[in-house]
Structures are given as structure tokens and as C-alpha cells.
Chains A and B, each alone.
Chain A
Amino acid sequence: DTGVSQDPRHKITKRGQNVTFRCDPISEHNRLYWYRQTLGQGPEFLTYFQNEAQLEKSRLLSDRFSAERPKGSFSTLEIQRTEQGDSAMYLCASSLSSGRAGSEQYFGPGTRLTVT
């Protein structure tokens, strides 16, 4: 399978614990995005990498959230001191820089986080 993969698929954690998610994009894609989706809503943008550089962060991304893409390949998203409001599906997407209109973003299966 050469699509976007994410690990773990499900994570249950207690409030106050730290969690880390991993995303492996499509291998030749240089752009990587993290989105968050809650029930009944569309995905909301969190942050964006071009190669290893984190170029944009949403104001939704509090200082408890940090993301890295150290070698321009896989990415990690860490949430420190989790809160119940962090419960959501965390989606990763990747794309290839392509022309003025951009190119389609391909999504991974997501990591569903439940904070108890």
C-alpha cells in the first residue's frame, strides 16, 4: 500500500497524559498537513510542512501541541497534558507541489483520540 499511513489508529488516554501520533506520507510528496475532525464537522487545518520546514500553524494549535517532520519524510504530532476537548480524529494528508492551482491532498486513515 503506497497511500498515507497513520499510527496508531486508535488511542485512549487519561486526561493529563501526553500522546504522540505518527504519519507517513506518500513517498514522493513534499507537503504534509495535519487536520483535526470532530463529530459532525469537517476537518480543520492544524499545521503544514513543506519538506522538513513547518511553515504554517493554525491558531487552533495551542502550545500543548507540537509537530515535527525531521527529515522531510514522516511526521509526528504530540499533544501534551491532554484535555477532554482534544478528543477527535487526527488526520494527516500529503500532496505534491504542483502548479498554481495546487494538487489534491490525499488523506490517511486517521488516529482517533479519546481522552477520558
Chain B
Amino acid sequence: EDKVVQSPLSLVVHEGDTVTLNCSYEVTNFRSLLWYKQEKKAPTFLFMLTSSGIEKKSGRLSSILDKKELFSILNITATQTGDSAVYLCAPRDLQGGSEKLVFGKGTKLTVNP
């Protein structure tokens, strides 16, 4: 059965801190891994990772995938209060043909001023 474990489940930091969010996964037929940010609404897309070792960056956020060790990390530097959200990791499972996303429980990040 597919399994996604995110850690930590919850994190409280001060503005300006750097955080690293972890995601380990086991999916039957892995193709890529996506990261989403969820505030009190629907998840919004951050990154899609397909290859090991290639860092994706967007402003203060960056992410990398290790397909051999089956994990991904999301880094946020110089955190701001607007980064407060739940960050969801979702590997894509091709079994069944749907390319469905298998989500972890998420990491709840709180950035205090």
C-alpha cells in the first residue's frame, strides 16, 4: 500500500528562520513528486520533481528529490508570516493509470513575527 510520511507534523519558527520539511514515500509505480501549500483553502501547487538531485527553486523556496532513498525535502529560507500554512507532499502513483496523487498528512508551519 502507498505510504507517505511527512516530518515534522508541526513546526513553529520566527520570521527570518530557515526551515526544512521532510517527505519520505513508498508508492507502487512512482513517476514524480509534487509539493503543495495549503492555507485555509485548496492546495496550491509549488513544485513538481521528477529527477533525483536536481534542485527546483522559486524565490525563497527550494526542493530536491532523492529517488534512491525515496525522500524529498522542501526548504524555505528567510521565512515570513505569509509562509504559515500546511505543506503537503504528494508522490504520483501511476498504478491504475490515473496518475493519482498520494498525499501525506502535511507539515503545519507557523511563522511568528
Q: Which residues in A have some Cβ–Cβ distance to B below 8 Å?
A: 4, 31, 33, 35, 40-45, 48, 55-56, 91, 93, 95, 100-110
Contacts and interface: CB of A to CB of B under 8 A. Distances in A.
A107 to B, nearest CB: 4
B29 to A, nearest CB: 12
B90 A109 contact: no
Contact of B103 (A43, A56, A102): A43
Interface of B: 4, 31-32, 34, 36, 41-45, 48, 50, 88, 90, 92, 96-106
A101 B50 CA distance: 6
A104 B88 CA distance: 14
B41 A110 contact: yes
22 contacts: A4-B42, A31-B99, A33-B98, A35-B103, A41-B103, A42-B106, A43-B88, A43-B101, A43-B103, A45-B98, A45-B101, A48-B96, A56-B97, A56-B98, A91-B43, A101-B48, A102-B32, A103-B48, A104-B34, A107-B43, A107-B44, A109-B42
A42 B101 CA distance: 10
A45 B102 contact: yes
Contacts of B45: 104-106
